[in-house]
A = this chain, B = another copy of it.
Amino acid sequence: MRGKDKLAVVTKTLNYDEKIIILNTEDAKKLEIKSGDKIVLTNVNNTSLKAIFTVATSSDMIDEGAILIPKNLAEKLSLKDGDLVKISQTHKPESIELIKKKMAGEKLERAEIQTIVNEIVSGLLGKTEIMGFVMAQKYAGMDMDEIESLTRAIAESGESIEFKRPTYDKHSIGGVPGNKVSLLIVPIIASAGLLIPKTSSRAITSPSGTADTMEVLTNVNLTLEEFVEVANKVGGALIWGGALNLAPADDIIINIEKTLRIDPIPQMLASIMAKKMAAGIKTMVLDVPIGKETKMESIDEAINFARLVIELGNRLGIRVQAGITYGEQPVGHNVGPALEAKEALEALIDPKSAPASLVEKSCSLAGLLLEMSGKAPIGMGHKVAKDILYSGKAYQKMKEIIEAQGGDPDIKPSEIEIGQYKYEVYAPVDGFVTKVSNSSINQIARAAGAPKEKGAGIILHVKRGRKVVAGQKILEIYAERSVKLQDAIHVLESNPPVIIEGMLLKTVPERTIYKFPQESYSQGSNSE
């Protein structure tokens, strides 16, 4: 690199999904840098602070001799206005050849996978290359050696936690709405005297992630230090894991995957286990819901997947037992952050009045952990878990957790605010419920505002197999804003969430009105 390469920092707020900096066009020319190039910025006062950015150029947004850096990125490099930075070229990513090697079906060595993950985290690899890596995993596959290497590399891409006592965890691969079982399992396990420091995610495509639900009851945005402190103090914690910088490579890859909603098995395995490894988990139970509209369509597929997780856990020193569960309809009745938190809290307070699906699933999975820990004899875990729940100890423990994380331990289910706008759905005919559609329930609840608007969601009054009579209430939709309730009703109309035997699904009028596609958008310069 030639030319003057020390520039004065100007910071501005700029939120964008790629880390861009803006160079004056003339400076860029002198430095032989083009828009779209990746460069390394180094803080000249502390040369260990550096990071990779993509270059945009401008002649009128930034003066010559200066460089515009988004504030949040400048903070990471401890830069303030007027500080000097050095610009240098990035080396060519080595990962390109390695991704091409994987694309050709060859096996990648541990160091090669490490290189790819390092270059993903450093920002050297662009989004298209990362998508290429994910697609290569999908089509060329990976063997268990490669998956282990990938998991270790991702686990080591950020912070890691080491607890002093043995740690337990429960993980669900997801796909089922209303799955609030962690809010029962964590306090049950902690009540048994075990350490269960649980990190959860927020919803990406579902109406409520466990972190969204827990947030209705208490603070879930803890720092790594606070999280460890809470867990050590009360034996359990249930927080949002996204701010802890555990396995950040995973977050980057997931963001790319979600654009096409793909998640190849090797990446899925690495994603689950890298987070556990970084969080210091040593024993876990894996919930694999099966059925239509879940991630695993058949029991064979679920067993095969579970075996892979167990084998990978073995290699990583994490004991894993899997529970394959029924996932074709919501767990319990409530869907949406506030409604799910309410249902979970009610179940902790008064388990005998709670939905069987919620209590049984929670106690089954908690039971497996109790058996693995030796706290319950084999075959007795479910009973021990249920005893803890019915004794009220789990509720007391939940209050401790809520308080330790900064919430009000005395919060009552009736105090949880539910959206004030409501729409009720009635059975149109007599008959049996033959189907409850997860995807329809997801879409309706999200249209109603969940998970962002915590009071939005659904109460499902009937489950599969139940007999209903015409006019019986089968569903309620809640929203915080009337316009969102209308959106949800609109989605409901074309996606029936509950199918009753004999019910008409759609009528075709005598004269069909064809709907034309939405307006299409052309580039300004094109005629079509």
Contact = CB atoms under 8 A, between A and B. Distances in A.
B521 A260 contact: no
A523 B262 contact: no
A77 B524 contact: yes
A522 B121 contact: yes
Interface in A15-55: 15-18, 20, 22, 25, 35-36, 40, 49-52
A77 B135 CA distance: 36
Contacts of A259: 96, 126, 128-129, 132
Contacts of A36: 16-17
Nearest to A49: B524
A138 to B, nearest CB: 8
Interface residues of A, number: 70
Nearest to A94: B517
B139 A135 contact: yes
A18 B56 CA distance: 10
Contacts of A248: 523, 526
A103 interface: yes
A47 B109 CA distance: 55
A472 interface: no
A35 B15 contact: yes
Nearest to A100: B260
Contacts of A56: 14-16
A223 to B, nearest CB: 13
A156 B523 contact: no
A147 B92 CA distance: 34
A250 B526 CA distance: 15
A262 B132 contact: yes
Interface stretch (A58-66, A213-221, A330-338, A365-373): A58-66
A124 interface: yes
Given A50-B524, A76-B524, A58 B12 contact: yes
Contacts of A35: 15-17
Interface string A110-143: 0000000010011110111111100110110000
A131 B526 CA distance: 24
A66 to B, nearest CB: 14
A76 B122 contact: no
Contact of A122 (B20, B59, B129, B520): B520
Interface in A339-370: none
Given A127-B128, A129-B259, A523 B61 contact: no
A165 interface: no
A261 B122 contact: no
14 contacts: A12-B58, A13-B58, A14-B57, A15-B57, A16-B57, A49-B524, A51-B523, A51-B524, A99-B260, A100-B260, A128-B128, A131-B131, A131-B135, A157-B526
